[in-house]
Structure 1
Amino acid sequence: MYEVSVNIFEGIIKGLHYRSFSWPLLATLLIVGWSSGFVGIRYANEEASVMLLLFWRTLLAGLILLPFALAFGPRMSLAAVRDQALLGFMAVFLYLGGFALAIEQKVPTGLVALIADLLPLAVAALSQPVLGERLTTRQWQGTAIAVSGVLIVSFDSLGIGTAPAWAYVLTVGSMLIFALASVLHRRSSTSRMPVHQSLCVQMLTGAVLFGLCAGMQGSLVPPLTQKFALAMAWLVLIATFLAYAVYYTSLRLFPAAKVSAAIYLSPPVTMLWAWMLFSEPLTLMMLSGLVITLVGVWMTSRP
């Protein structure tokens, strides 16, 4: 009962759990939130380094949630905070920071995005041995179709680049770490902590670590520009609060492979963001990949 009172978002979703539109609603919110991270980073990257952006993104998100985490919900035990800090280290610092470092090392952005968006495949592979959640033959077929669609969407931007070998390994490792964090979150007893508390701990953990990295590169003072402020608002409210809150809430209600499958639609939707906001080209091949990905996600997510 207390979860409904202290966590309105999660309570509403749980109330909708047995209605037919609950998963489509969650999936839509997840796709919008997940793909929107590209917009904020792209918009503000000329104003500050990626590490400085990630520091202020996680710090602001954590500080906004902190008074709610302390005032509402059960008292956070040391074990629960420790577990959520570990998840923050994996799902925030290593995941986001790993890809940012790979891009700084000149791994092509298209290749980084493709590897990041193969996350659902890794979650599906880990779900059976870790959670005992087996995918049906139809779901594996849908996964294969969705991956094909992602490859088609990403085809024009793919390249090998000239980055050091460890940077390519880092991209794959970052994706696998987030996949492992996802299945561990679903299995952990402390994952029952209300989302606003767990997300607060994870964001503040990321802020400390990103702050150390950004501090080694220079000052932690943010650019005092309207562009940077708008980007931070976008990254905190949509790419962090919406994306992570919906993702973690969905993991409590649905199989991990089903939830992560929605992320296959992130590259096509990011492509639409780029077309609308930055006038990047939208080709027939990209639209074909979007349709194919939709079919694959539908097959994977069907009950």
Structure 2
Amino acid sequence: MPATPSSRMATLWLAAMPLLFVALWSTGFIGAKFGLPYAEPFTFLFIRFALTLALLVPLAHWLSGEWPRGARLWGHIAVSGLLVHGAYLGGVFYGIYLGMPAGLASLLVGLQPLLTAALAGPLLGERLSLAQWLGLALGLVGITLVLGSKLDPGEALFQGFGLGALAAVSVALAGISCGTLYQKRYCTGMPLLSGTVVQYLAAGILLGIGALLFEERSVEWTPTFLLTLGWLVLVLSISAILLLMALIRRGEASRVASLFYLVPPVTALQAWWLFDERLPLPALAGMAIAIAGVVLVVRGKPATGGRPRT
């Protein structure tokens, strides 16, 4: 039977989902750079999550009305929210707040697929093919080339920030890697919208505690901050995150994680356009190699065998 217009549109939408996710997700690092001069990181994120929940709760009730069943699933969803949203965003924003360039933060957390692929086998029973492992290796080489172009030839490892910023972004990297695997294993029965509400609620509580304990909680409500906050709430915290949840549900964790290899190049291009950050030739070559690695991971067929642990 010939394809109907509706089926063709559905096919195009499924094909566009990963690219759309990358385009939206990469703007989060740019948004952090725009907004952090006007608010401390945990305070900034707490406000973001509070506004997101105010919009998402009625949306979840209107569109779905289905909520997670049982305290056990609620607990698993909350843990995944602490990792995917609390640790990841808290680490990224705090690292940028301590002086790390937004593009470099994106590059460091772009190493996530390596951790995810290494852990997906023992935790989820996923086995990668040789082509997929080659793709992950190419991704690492590409990220290393881009990262190497940022090295300070002087005594300091990087310009403008110290070990605190590196530690914060390392927490973000561990959070998004472990959170992707945790959600894939324990939250497969999670209703998409209401489950995201539970995740944001858990992450918001964590970041609110961080703001109370470690920050002065002062905010400059400038037009730039308000516009940035609106973008992060509507486009990142709702649209991009729902896309991520749908992608995790549709494919193996390692394949979903490979999309994050595309985020650093896209972020770097945005930084060049918005902040006139120039990219040397090694960085451009690294971007091309990383994209080639993504193609191998996404198109490669998983090796046979292996079962998820129960």
Instruction: Report the alpha carbon displacement of residue 128 of structure 1 after superposing the two structures with TM.
Output: 1.1
1:127 paired to 2:125: no
| Structure-2 residue corresponding to 1:184 | 182
Q: Shift of the alpha carbon at 1:110?
A: 6.3
Aligned position for 2:170: 172
Q: CA deviation at 1:106?
A: 5.7
Partner of 2:66: 74
Report the CA distance shift for 1:273/1:110 in structure 2 as closer, same or farther (over 3 A): closer
Residue 109 of structure 2 is aligned to residue 116 of structure 1? yes
Classify the secondary structure of the residue corresponding to 1:182: helix
Cα RMSD (Å) of the superposition?
A: 2.6
Separation (CA, whole Å) in 2 of partners of 1:272 and 1:167: 23
Q: Identify the match of residue 279 of structure 1 among 276, 281, 284.
A: 276
Q: 1:267: how far off? A: 0.8
In 2, are the aligned partners of 1:211 and 1:220 still within 8 Å (CA)?
no
What secondary structure, in the 3-state scheme, does the structure 2 residue paired with 1:135 have?
A: coil
State the alpha-carbon separation in 2 of the partners of residues 299 and 184 from structure 1. Answer: 24
Farther-moved stretch of structure 1 (92-101 vs 82-91): 92-101
Q: Which of 203, 206, 216 does residue 206 from structure 1 map onto?
A: 203
Q: Does structure 2 retain, via aligned residues, the 8 Å contact 1:52–1:211?
A: yes
How far off is 1:46 after superposition? 1.5
- Equivalent residue for 1:226, pick from 223, 227, 230: 223
Which moves more between the two structures, 100-109 or 286-295?
100-109
Aligned length: 286
Shift of the alpha carbon at 1:220?
A: 4.2
Match of 1:9 in 2: none
Residue in 1 aligned with 2:303?
A: none
In the TM superposition, 1:88-107 aligns within 5 A as 88-104=81-97
TM-score by length of 1: 0.84
Letter in 2 for 1:135: L
Listed one character per residue, the Cα deviations across residues 143-198 of structure 1 (whole Å, up to 9, x for unaligned) are 1111211222222224535745x76455434322321211121122x433232111
Counterpart-to-counterpart distance in 2, 1:152 and 1:211? 37
1:223 offset after TM fit, Å? 2.7
Number of the residue aligned with 2:304: none
Deviation at 1:107, TM superposition (A): 6.3
Amino acid at match of 1:284: L
Contact 2:149 2:280 in 1 (8 A): no
Please point out which of 144, 149, 152 is paired with 1:156. 149
Q: What is the CA–CA distance in structure 1 between the aligned matches of 2:28 and 2:92, rounded to whole Å?
A: 13
- The correspondence for 1:51, drawn from 7, 26, 42, is 42
Compared CA separation, residues 298 and 198, structure 1 to 2 (3 A) = same
Task: Give unpaired runs (5+ residues) of structure 1.
Answer: 1-11
Q: Secondary structure of 2:38's partner?
A: coil
- 1:118 is displaced (CA, Å) by 0.5
1:121-141 CA-to-partner distances (Å, cap 9, x unmatched) read: 111111111111111000111
Listed as ranges, the gaps of 5+ residues in structure 2 are 1-5, 301-310
- Counterpart amino acid of 2:60? A
Identity %: 30
Q: Is the 8 A contact 1:112 1:171 kept in 2?
A: yes
- Residues in 1 aligned to 2:55 and 2:98: alpha-carbon distance in whole angstroms: 32
Inter-partner Cα distance in structure 2 for 1:260 and 1:289: 18
Whole-angstrom CA distance in 1 between matches of 2:143 and 2:298: 17
Which residue does 1:240 correspond to in 2?
237
What does the per-residue CA deviation read over 1:178-219, in whole Å, with 9 as the maximum and x for residues that have no partner? 21211121122x433232111111112222221222233455
CA 1:242/1:75 → structure 2, altered by over 3 Å: closer, same or farther?
closer
**Deviating more after overlay: 250-259 vs 100-109:** 100-109
CA contact (8 A) 1:62 1:199 kept: no
Residues in 1 aligned to 2:14 and 2:146: alpha-carbon distance in whole angstroms: 25
In 1, Cα distance between equivalents of 2:40 and 2:151: 23
Structure 1 residue identity aligned to 2:86: F
Q: Contact conserved, 1:110 with 1:158, CA < 8 A, in 2?
A: no
